[in-house]
Structure 1
Amino acid sequence: MDFLLRGDAPFEDELWEKIDEIVVKKAKEQLVGRKFIPIYGPLGAGVQNININLYNVNNDTVISSNGEEDTELVKVQNRRYVEIPMIFKDFFISWRDVENSKQTGLPLDLAPVAITAAACAHKENQVIFFGDEEWGYKGLMNVDGRQTMEKNNWNEGENAFSDMVAGLEKLVRKGFYGPYVLVVSPDLYAQLQRIQPGTGKLELERIRELINGNVYQTPILGQNKAVLLEKGMENMDLVIGQDLITGYIGPEKLNHVFRILETILLRIKRPESIVTFE
């Protein structure tokens, strides 16, 4: 990976290993979409474009003795080629901090690495759930063709559970039978932490059992938002060209400038596999 220019940096391999360790740790802590969206790649940093397919699917099948009957094909309804965008953010390490670490033997403070990696992870989450208006990309919460529901007040009665039942019904009617994932904003996640009278269970537990899947929370959704979907590579995937990595930009007035970057694209192939609660 010569494009990272690590060989130009006056650092030992040990420091790069520590930087990489921090970046991976932050990614695992904060990336929500990767917990349930299949990964396509990594394809390589040089791959700049990828196709997005929308599929025309009719679940009707044929029972036959000789297989001569016609059946509707599962095929690409629409295909377009788009650019895989790059997410990046730069950080700075002082030459004095580097020299102090060398002279005293104390570890170099790598807080800028963690802060920058967290910012990149935040941006990836944002792109997955809301896309990017400037690039014309859509996310889970605003993709055209998704199913939508008006959300009831989850602080009252069994509204949260009832909304999930209605959401599952929408998906099943379209032929999506699971496995399912629910992602909610932090305020809604807090509202699910109450015991439903007569059940002895938290609303969260009841919903997990209902959808037979995981429930995640993320501040990216803002407030009072949720999305229920059927996961699977036939519905969506996350294209990764270059996964999160750190490169060396170069010296600037004796100090050192680095860049954390990745190239990613969410491909939603069957938007009707998504139900948003708004």
Structure 2
Amino acid sequence: MDHLFRDDAPFGGEIWERVDGVVVNVATQQLIGRRFIPIFGPLGAGIDSIHVDALEVDMDTKVDFNGEEEDAPIKISGRKYVAIPMLYKDLSIAWRDIERSKQTGLPLELSPITIAATACCQKEDSIIFNGNPAYGYPGLTNVEGRQILRKGDWREGENAFKDVAEGIEKLVRKGFYGPYVLVVSPDLYVQMQRLQQGTGILELDRVKELVGAKVYKTPVLGENKAVLLAKGSENMDLVIGQDLITAYLGPEQMNHRLRVFETLLLRIKRPEAIVTIE
């Protein structure tokens, strides 16, 4: 890991182990997309591009006695290579904090690492769900070819349950039989925290049962939006070059600059496996 320049830092392996532990802990707690999108990698920090395929899928399966009827094969109909972007957040650790830790044996203050890792996690999920329009990378909520469902008012009646059920019906009609995942904005999650009239059951619990107990919430969706999708690497995956890690950038006005970063790309192979409820 020479590209991290850790040997140049004014502290040794014990501190770097703590830094790595903080970053991993934050990622485990906060990342949402990685909980259901298959990972492709890590491929290594030097891998800066990856192919993205378009699939031609004909689900009409032939049946005859000798296997002589012509069939349309499932195949890659197009391939392009795209850059794997890097996302990062820099931070500074005061030289006096490092010296105090050395002199007194007190733990080094790592709050800036925690906050920088949190910022990177939020950006990763934002890229997964919203893409990066400036660089032409689509996300789950705006990829061309996804299915779109007009949302009812989830504060009333059984609208949340009905919308999710209709979304699953759309997926099934396209040949996606699950498993499913539902991700909602925080306001919609709160709106499902109410007892369904006449049942004594939270609407959220009914929706969870409908999708197989996989309902997540994330603020990167903004407000009044939900995403329902069929899981599987044949539908989408998350390409990781360098997984989330911290590098040493060098001294700056006696303090020490670090960078929390990663390289990743969302590959959506079958956009029709996604239903946005909006």
2:172 is aligned to 172
2:121 is aligned to 121
Shift of 1:200: 2.1
CA distance in 2, matches of 1:51, 1:169: 31
Aligned to 2:24, what secondary structure does the other structure show? helix
1:214 is aligned to 214
Q: Note the 1:1-150 alignment, pairs <5 A.
A: 1-150=1-150
Aligned to 1:259, what secondary structure does the other structure show? strand
Q: Note the 1:218-229 alignment, pairs <5 A.
A: 218-229=218-229
Aligned to 2:88, what secondary structure does the other structure show? strand
- State the Cα RMSD in Å: 0.9
Shift of 1:51: 0.7
Structure-1-length-normalised TM-score: 0.98
CA distance in 1, matches of 2:187, 2:124: 21
CA distance in 2, matches of 1:199, 1:76: 48
Structure-2-length-normalised TM-score: 0.98
1:199 is aligned to 199
- The 8 Å contact of residues 54 and 77 in structure 1, kept in 2 or not, is answered as yes
Shift of 1:67: 2.1
Unaligned runs of 5+ in 1: none
- Structure 1 residue 232 and structure 2 residue 232: aligned? yes
Question: Would you identify which runs of 4 or more consecutive aligned residues in structure 1 move more than 3 Å?
Answer: none
One-letter identity of the residue aligned with 2:155: N
2:269 is aligned to 269
- The 8 Å contact of residues 153 and 160 in structure 1, kept in 2 or not, is answered as yes
Aligned to 1:275, what secondary structure does the other structure show? strand
- The 8 Å contact of residues 39 and 239 in structure 1, kept in 2 or not, is answered as yes
CA distance in 2, matches of 1:253, 1:200: 62
1:183-232 superposed Cα distances (whole Å, 9 cap, x missing partner):
00000000111110122211111111112240000001111010000010
CA distance in 2, matches of 1:64, 1:198: 52
One-letter identity of the residue aligned with 2:224: N
Shift of 1:10: 1.8
Give aligned pairs, total.
278
